[in-house]
Structure 1
């Protein structure tokens, strides 16, 4: 079996014709037919049913096509990345949104500012961040998780050949505009939040590692009035312009950042959230990434 045979299968299926496939692939029709016949002989199973009207996939052939399609698509991605005229050094990080993480990322950009550098920080939820590391679209992921998610998270990472390194922790608190009368309270209760819009950063509530269960544990009132924000600007604007609140993580940071949001404990319940790095197992981090992680730990120590 070789890659060309898989490419031939995909082209035949998607054109619906061996002759059209041969024409598109710039090979002779007898050669293409021979290649498919050789593959069927090698694996001992029939991929195509041949009739006077053309060819159709067998039930086994359908499975072969799906695998072949995945291989061809992956090849195109690799080919594009290797042959495109691009920067020599790439530093790519997937992360949840955070001003401190962004500021330390910019420190990396300032320190390693030679030519042929491409820096990227991709803001997303946990599942997407892990996926991007697994598919090598990013070098590392900075994610957050609760104690309730730890077992499922470690099992999932182990199955994907990834590993977790904890960095620091924070507490889930209520975020509310400092212009709100509620911002002057030392704690907020379920009664205080009733009737308010609940503002959520959408990517923190997506996929299998969303924080829906954590909100249930805290007994956050279900107001049936939710605003899903895809970015920090929408998130902040909603909290300032509407009677609203959000549940977010309060990280104990050495660097004071200006903020017009109050962070207030919710009732007597506490929920610890851990920030961690995800990387591929046994892979040595680039110098730039080690510098970034050390700067993060230093900021939150």
Structure 2
């Protein structure tokens, strides 16, 4: 074949609309027969003019079954479907996920015009049920993980009422800024709810703190004091103490003792002393004419 013949053949193929239409029909047929999609076309009145695709099988609908029917009547109860078709008739494409026939469908609404220029709509719909189920399963797993993380955080920083009006917060591991912020909120809430008089922060199990966290501990003690309670820090390790000293933190107003046991004894002594002082105050305030006992 000469160059002129080749050029002529190419021009002939390019200039044949029938060949182009035949190629497009072949491609469309391959898609409709083999992929889980449903393709529909509606005229300006919402009447089905094309209704085909392998995706119809899962819904129990035969290809062409809806031809001549109104999409507005068939899918009046499907949220968003009718509105999306009306938008496409107005020239605006859209995409949505809907529930119909007990399945989840993902649809694209495309505005088109026929040979006479009349507006219409083409929809391409895929069965997204399996993908939706995987999404729901993933969301459920993420929710479960979040709940488990909440439980772990609660277990790692439990707030225990060891005595009437005495709370203790034993902390373990490495304490970072995010964790101490959560702990501060929980502890202050517990102080209010329990009407606590003392809150003991036990750092015996803390391996290390960052520089910002050390400052947070002091701020927590101040916040506890503002609520009318007293914060006591117990069990500070040598490396944690060095971090606090290196930061130049003023611990002169913070009560610290060697371990949790000593902290509990201190609370009991102070509560006992407060009780005795209260009793003495009541006796001292008795009326002058009260009978002697």
- Give the structure-2-normalised TM-score: 0.22
Between structure 1 and structure 2, the one with the greater Rg is 2
